Chains A and B, each alone.
Chain A
Amino acid sequence: MFDLERREAGEVVLKGRFDAAQREKAQALFDEIHESVTLDCSELDYISSAGLGVLLKTQKRLLAEGGRLKLIGVNSHLRDVFKYSGFDRIFEIEPG
């Protein structure tokens, strides 16, 4: 299960597993973000290309609007996925 929780201005916590079964729900939640935010991934266990697609679409939209996503608390699995997909070039990422 995947969930997204807004904690305070500019910070969003991602939780659970960001897989293809969660894509539509996740996209709807990310579509509500309209400013630069820091995504706390310390409770995000897993991501696949479906999750990457949602993050990429959101990042492109925010960059066009003058904002951006920053990822913090990234575990080793997420770090590998971001590295192999080239996402470490387009997101500011801090390890967990």
Chain B
Amino acid sequence: MKRGVFKRSLDSLESIFLFTSEFVRENHVDPSLLPAIDLIVEELFTNMVEHSSASTADVPMEMSTVDGGVEVTLTDEDADPFDITKVPEVDVERAVEELDPGGLGLHLVRKFADSVEYHYQFSNRQARIVFRKTAGSGGDDV
């Protein structure tokens, strides 16, 4: 397991991508999974930065290997409850005039991840998001 802690800022994305790429290389994870892993992490992290603006806490991230891929946990401290797995689906079949990028991030998370779990502890206002990405699931069918 590898753990990193990142400042709650979009400027942290470069460090986060370095963290994920090092983990994939060091643990011999299929490198074709990396773009999808980065995308899921970015969308979840960006969501925390832009929608948990009251919190200034750093964001811990843990990565571990699972059979055929990775499991990643992001922790949002001092956060209001917001279960991302309950957000309604985005209709991507709308006409171009009606399309809006809002909600596309979590839509892509669902499409690319094998599974996404949301856990919230009211006692310490902590949200934990856990996802898995393995070979053969959405987004790496090349």
Which A residues lie at the B interface, using CB under 8 A?
A: 17, 19-21, 45-46, 48-50, 52-53, 56-57, 59-60, 63, 76-77, 80-81, 84-86, 89-90
Report the Cα distance A46→B43, complex, angstroms: 13
Chain A at the B interface: mostly helix, strand, loop or mixed?
Answer: helix
Stretch at the interface among B61-69, B97-105, B117-125: B97-105
| Interface size bracket, B side | 20 to 34
Other-chain contact of B99, A21, A77, A80, A86 (Cβ < 8 Å): A86
Stretch at the interface among B7-15, B51-59, B78-86, B126-134: B7-15
Report the Cα distance A45→B39, complex, angstroms: 12
Other-chain contact of A90, B99, B139, B142 (Cβ < 8 Å): B99
The 10 closest A-B pairs by CB, nearest first: A86-B92, A53-B101, A77-B35, A49-B105, A76-B142, A84-B111, A49-B104, A90-B96, A21-B10, A21-B13
A80 touching B96, Cβ below 8 Å: no
List the B side residues contacting A20 at CB < 8 Å: 10, 13, 42, 46
Other-chain contact of A85, B10, B42, B108 (Cβ < 8 Å): B108
Count chain B CB atoms within 10 A of each CB in A20, A59, A76 and give the residue with the most. A20
If the complex has contacts A49-B108, A60-B96, A84-B108, are A21 and B14 also in contact, measured as CB distance less than 8 A?
yes
> Does B38 sit within 8 A of A, measured CB to CB?
yes
A84 touching B46, Cβ below 8 Å: no
List the B side residues contacting A57 at CB < 8 Å: 101
Report the Cα distance A57→B100, complex, angstroms: 9
